[in-house]
Each structure stands twice: as C-alpha cells, then as structure tokens.
Amino acid sequence: MAEFHNLTLEGYRACVALLRRALEIDPSYMPAAGLIGWCRLRPRNMGAVTQEEIGEAVRLAQRVIASGKDDPDALWMAGFTVGGLGREPAMGLSAIERAVALNPNSALGWSVAGWLQAFINRPELAIEPLERAMRLSPLDPLGYLFTAGLAYAHFAARRYDKAMEWADRSLGEQTGFPPALYLKVALCDHLGRLEEGQQWVRRIPELYPGLTVATLAAFADAFMSDDLRADYGEGLRKAGLPE
C-alpha cells in the first residue's frame, strides 16, 4: 500500500510485484487480486499500460467477482476494473453494488459506482453516490477521486461550469491528477477558454511525456459512451494536444 500511495508509475509497478508475491503465498487472497486492477487503471490514464497488463487485471478482477468472496474492498476494485478496463459496465456495477451492500460505509465503493455511472452517461445516477462518498469520508486521502468523479458527472450532464469547479477542486487536492487535468483541458474549449486550455496543454508534456490525443482516445474508448467520448476528444484537439 505504501508503494500504491506513491502515485507514480514506479510505485504502481512495485505495488503489482508485491501483490503478485502475495498471491503466490495465498492465491485466495482476493484484495491482492483486486488491487492489481486498480494499479493498472491509473497508468492507463497516462498511456503507460500494455494490453497484456490490462488482460491480466481483467482476468484477476473476474476471478474476484466469480469467487463469491464477501470482501467489499476486493469487490469494488474488481467491479471498477471489469467495468472500465474490461468494458463490462453492467457486470462492474453489479459487483460494486454488492460491495456497498456488504459495507454501506465504503466511501471508495460509492465513489467508483459514481464514476462508472458518469462514464456510461448517467450523470444523475452518478452524482448521488459520489456525494455520499464525500459525506462518509470528508477528509479522505483519496478524496480527489470523489471531486474528479463529480466533475465527470457534471460534464456528462453538459453542466460545464459546474464540471470545471469540481475539476479545479480535484486538482487542488492532487496536483496533476490525470483524469481531472485532461477534463479541465477539454472543458476550456466548451467554456470558450481556449487560451487557458492551450496553457495547460503546454504543461502536460512536463507531467506526462509523449501524451497524445490518440493515447487519451484509447482511455476514453475503454470508459466513455460515444457522445461523451466525442465531446472529450474535440476539446483536447482544439486546445492543441498533439494527435
């Protein structure tokens, strides 16, 4: 967990190596299997994960869901992995719903339910679980996930001013958090703030070298509905992110 919370590519790789060792010791330890998927989701936002790594994460997440283990943390991690990387949002939401039924106080479980609902263009169904997550854990060290999720929910609802407020709040809590940063750039176009968007695009190579519209299109293709993906890509292109 210490490596995971470094929030770096090196930290995620080290975390996965330790999780694999944990599974060698105890193949039935589902939290380790679930967390591997979570470690692949974030590098996917940076264009730094292979198809083989995605495949491993999805297989392990499916194993968690199929095992019937009553571990809520393993289930919400697996649900988000299957729903996003595995492109099976219905299966993912079902696993997350089981997780929060087992532990209604799981702020992270509620938050990933909101993320998935936003990505499949159900903004009103996304907002309530994300707001619940914030109420349950107002000082959560991963709270920037809650605020970024609300930014995407309002983006899906075409409430661009509100989406920008939440994206800025997320970036204030975790500087450079990729999903919040990319959405902010796209929102600058929708709000007519092209110069500001271009300024942010010039900063992106410092944080994530080699990032392109094509890289983010692959991320959006895995997670977003068609209309959201189109709005997202258009904003990034107009801001000047390289193809």
Question: Domains (ranges, CATH) in the chain?
Answer: 1-104 (1.25.40.10), 131-243 (1.25.40.10)
Which residues, in sequence order, are CB contacts of 184 under 8 Å at separation 6+? Answer: 164, 167, 168, 171, 197, 200
Measure the CA–CA gap between 169 and 49, rounded to whole angstroms.
27
Q: What is the pLDDT of residue 222?
A: 60
Q: What is the pLDDT of residue 162?
A: 97
Q: What is the pLDDT of residue 63?
A: 93
Which residues, in sequence order, are CB contacts of 55 under 8 Å at separation 6+? Answer: none
Measure the CA–CA gap between 123 and 152, rounded to whole angstroms.
8
Q: What is the pLDDT of residue 232?
A: 78
Q: Which parts of 103-208 fold into alpha helices (H)?
A: 107-119, 123-136, 143-156, 160-173, 178-190, 194-207
pTM of this prediction exceeds 0.75: yes
Q: What is the pLDDT of residue 104?
A: 97
- Divide the 243 residues of the chain into consecutive groups of 10 and give the mean pLDDT of each group: 83 93 94 90 73 90 88 94 88 95 97 93 94 97 95 93 96 88 88 87 74 69 71 77 73
Check: CB of residue 73 under 8 Å from CB of residue 48.
no
Give the DSSP letter string of 77-108.
Answer: HHHHHHHHTT--HHHHHHHHHHHHHH-TT-HH
Measure the CA–CA gap between 80 and 41, rounded to whole angstroms.
9
Q: What is the pLDDT of residue 30?
A: 92
b/e burial code for range 28-46 (CB count within 10 A of at least 16 → b): ebbbbbbbbbbbbbbbbbb
The dihedral formed by the CA atoms of 122, 30, 86 and 151, expressed in degrees to the nearest 10: 30
Which residues, in sequence order, are CB contacts of 142 under 8 Å at separation 6+? Answer: 108
